[in-house]
Amino acid sequence: MASLQDIRRRIDSTKKTSQITSAMQMVSSSKLIQIQKHTSGYLDYANHVEAIVAHLSAAHLLEHQNGSSIPFITQRPVKTTAILVITSDRGLVGGYNNQVLKRTDQIMREQKLTKENTVIFALGGKGSDYYAKRGFTIAFENRDITDVPKFWEVSDLVKEVTKQYAARKFDALELVFNHFINRLKNDVVNQQILPIRSENFQRDEKGNLTADKYKGQSSIYEFEPAPESLLKIVLPQFAQSLLYGAILDAKTAEHAASASAMRAATDNAKDLISTLELKYNRARQAAITTEITEITGGMAALQ
């Protein structure tokens, strides 16, 4: 049975841990608020770019262009697939990383992807280390980005992805990341980013775009210069906005997961402290009872 000193030491140690996890929860919550403010402003730009591409798609411009001159809409046989995996650099985020890696492995099984026909783009050390140990080609990695990443911090990764696709280093790009829903919940999302396909933009039976973000925005454009020149400029921006938006979304989910994990750790520490204090008090009462019994027995022996 643990001594009173051992129990007291565990109580003190657990209280210190609780203070640390509580402080980490507050820090993560603060980071979450900061990135939500930053993301809300960026989404206005991203939604407008996407709306333009969606309306161009509704006008069937994507189907009528020469794919060889605009690689982002080129539909070619998929010989090599690239997967952009967004994870964190560190732990203490609950199941955040495991969910992404598990979904990525599932995609590989479903599409029969192997080390020979798959390249990995990794944002975050956990994903990069995971697939490097398994022998996959890491085409590009980005670690230690800030808590509220600016575009210039991830621009090398984003531009490298679009550059390699245009150079035919791979034929399709899958994106896997945690989508932020609320402070208590996130969901793993995977979507094919490249090539850009007109069927990605949902329409009703009349051919109108159905997503709320497209409603109320004009779909009538006068092209100057020609549509092909416009698409060469807009489509790379659209692809990059999708990637950067996913990075912001994933980082938001990471801060939320960290805050949730630290809150759970703090609650568990408090429960453990309560249990240990109860155990300590019982052991102390038992020790006092034993002492009283010994004193009583000694007095009785003297009589």
Give start-end residues of each CATH 1.10.287.80 domain in the chain.
Answer: 4-24+263-302
Most confident of 9-13, 206-210, 283-287: 9-13
Name the CATH topology of 4-24+263-302: Helix Hairpins (1.10.287)
Architecture of domain 32-260: 3-Layer(aba) Sandwich (3.40)
Q: What angle do CA 255, 257, 262 make, to 5 degrees?
A: 95
Q: pLDDT grade, residue 102 (50/70/90)?
A: very high
Residue 83 has pLDDT above 90, yes or no: yes
Residue 154 DSSP code: H
pLDDT in the model for residue 69: 59
CB 240 within 8 A of CB 158: yes
Q: pLDDT grade, residue 131 (50/70/90)?
A: very high
Mean pLDDT of the chain: 81
CB 79 within 8 A of CB 171: yes
Give start-end residues of each CATH 3.40.1380.10 domain in the chain.
Answer: 32-260
- Outline where DSSP puts E strands in the chain: 81-86, 118-123, 137-142, 172-182, 185-194
pLDDT in the model for residue 41: 79
Q: Which residue has the tokens 């020149």?
A: 229
Q: Which residue has the tokens 């698409």?
A: 231
Residue 43 has pLDDT above 80, yes or no: no
